[in-house]
Amino acid sequence: MTTAAAPAPPGAWSVQRAGLASRIGSSALVLVAIALFAVPQILSANVVQQLTSLLVFLILAVMWNALAGYAGLVSVGQQAFIGFGAYGTIYLTQRGIQPYLAVVLASLASAVLAAVLSLLVLRLRGGQFAVGTWVVAEAIALFVMLDQSLGGGTGVSLQGLSGYAPEVRRAFTYWLTLAFAVLLLVLLFLLLRHRTGAALQAIRDDEDAAASLGVRVRPLKLMLFVLAGFGCGAAGALTLANTLFIQPQSIFGVQWSAYMIFMVLVGGIGTFEGPIIGAVLFFAVQYFFADQGAWYLIGLGLAAVAFALFLPRGLWSLLNDRLHVQLLPVGYHLRRQGARPRSSSRET
């Protein structure tokens, strides 16, 4: 015979992952993702191309936040994988592989590259890791510039998509970009919902202490580094499919790291929702101010510094502190019986 559990006394605390508001928000986000697949049929070609760029920014923001926000790996060299994914697509199409298949294969090749580079860069910490990733990116860019079959330093076009009608090419590129964005968000969500998520954050907070508690530091950092390499490689390949032309100076440019840092700091580092907000805001800023040249980059840098100093938890913290909701909750929060949940901007 079993007995019913006694109700919690008034004022008691309970640990919860999600409440009603989070379930509603998560369901709404899933519905939005499904609705986005209809965009090429109902919106103009220019809007489709612009939304493809937005999704690429989203992928980059989410990947950089996974590294820095959840594992403490502050990289300024993710452009190595962006460029490698783009030029890998060119290399494969030159050998007769269908362009969109080449995009997928180049993304997987970027993950392999990340696994190889991890043998070197994951031995570094802090500022050394940041500088090391940047040096690797510059070295890969130099190798690409020396290869005349890839256009050398003048750039190269993706000829394989010239056989598609423009509206068909834009639609296929958009759908593939959306599929990559959804896939990477789901993978990261499942990873952070698992106990691995807590282990990664322990590494971020104190790597030595995490290791002393039995956390497998090296394999977890490797896994996240490879995932970020795959995502950034996909972003580079999809950028090529969207623009059809690349140059080493631009696709391997350090400005990509500046963009990622800006999106994550403004949205909210170490949160799942923050990079999504940061990507949307950055896309709007770029759309209106990108033609300002150097002043545009200076403005991005100053804004990032201002957020780091005066709003270090990002814009998402302003909403979270008032609404106490996580659209895709990956952590836990304390809830008093009859009270609203208390949570931090970083999932724990």
**Burial, 143: exposed, middle or buried (Cβ in 10 Å; 0-12, 13-18, 19+)?**
exposed
**pLDDT tens profile 125-137:** 888 999 999 999 9
pLDDT at 66: 93
Q: Which residue, 86, 269, 90, 62, is CA-closest to 180?
A: 62
Q: Which residue, 348, 346, 347, is CA-closest to 314?
A: 346
In the predicted model, is pLDDT for residue 343 greater than 50? no
Lowest mean pLDDT among 126-130, 199-203, 323-327: 323-327
CB 279 within 8 A of CB 54: yes
Greater pLDDT, 308 or 8: 308
Q: How far apart are CA 125 and CA 128, in angstroms?
A: 5
Q: How far apart are CA 91 and CA 216, in angstroms?
A: 37
4 domain-assigned: no
**pLDDT tens profile 235-262:** 999 999 999 999 999 999 998 998 999 9
Report the domain count for the chain: 1
CB 101 within 8 A of CB 176: no
- Supply the CATH number for residue 120's domain: 1.10.3470
The pairing of beta strand 13-16 with beta strand 333-336:
antiparallel
Q: Which residue, 219, 210, 229, 186, is CA-closest to 82?
A: 229
304 domain-assigned: yes
In the predicted model, is pLDDT for residue 291 greater than 80? no
323 domain-assigned: yes
CB 279 within 8 A of CB 80: no
Structure tokens at 182: 């959804």
Q: Which residues contact 342 (CB under 8 A, 6 or more apart)?
A: 324, 333, 334, 335, 336
31 domain-assigned: yes
Q: How far apart are CA 345 and CA 343, in angstroms?
A: 7
pLDDT at 126: 85
Angle between helices 99-121 and 166-193 (to 10 degrees): 40
In the predicted model, is pLDDT for residue 325 greater than 70? no
| The Cα angle at residue 90 between residues 84 and 92, in degrees rounded to 5 | 95
In the predicted model, is pLDDT for residue 64 greater than 80? yes
Greater pLDDT, 64 or 199: 64
pLDDT at 344: 44
Q: How far apart are CA 239 and CA 84, in angstroms?
A: 12
**Strand, helix or coil for residue 338:** coil
Lowest mean pLDDT among 64-68, 98-102, 197-201: 197-201
* CA distances for 97 relative to 156, 163, 245, angstroms: 17, 14, 18
Range of the domain at 298: 18-157+164-336
322 domain-assigned: yes
DSSP run (H or E) holding 334 = strand 333-336
* CA distances for 115 relative to 225, 319, 348, angstroms: 8, 37, 27
328 domain-assigned: yes
pLDDT at 115: 96
Mean predicted confidence (pLDDT) in 4-19: 55
What DSSP letter does each residue of 64-121 carry, written as one string?
HHHHHHHH----S-THHHHHHHHHHHHHHHTTT--HHHHHHHHHHHHHHHHHHHHHHH
In the predicted model, is pLDDT for residue 281 greater than 60? yes
Greater pLDDT, 325 or 112: 112
pLDDT at 348: 46
pLDDT at 345: 41
Mean per-residue pLDDT over the chain, rounded: 85
Highest mean pLDDT among 196-210, 256-270, 291-305: 256-270
Q: How far apart are CA 73 and CA 130, in angstroms?
A: 8
Highest mean pLDDT among 14-18, 61-65, 159-163, 290-294: 61-65
CB 282 within 8 A of CB 167: no
**pLDDT tens profile 29-58:** 778 888 888 898 888 888 999 999 999 999
pLDDT at 289: 79
Structure tokens at 261: 């840092």
Q: Which residue, 315, 136, 159, is CA-closest to 225?
A: 136
What percent of the chain is predicted at pLDDT more than 90? 46
22 domain-assigned: yes
In the predicted model, is pLDDT for residue 2 greater than 80? no
**pLDDT tens profile 78-97:** 999 999 999 999 999 999 99
pLDDT at 257: 92
The reported pTM is: 0.86
292 domain-assigned: yes
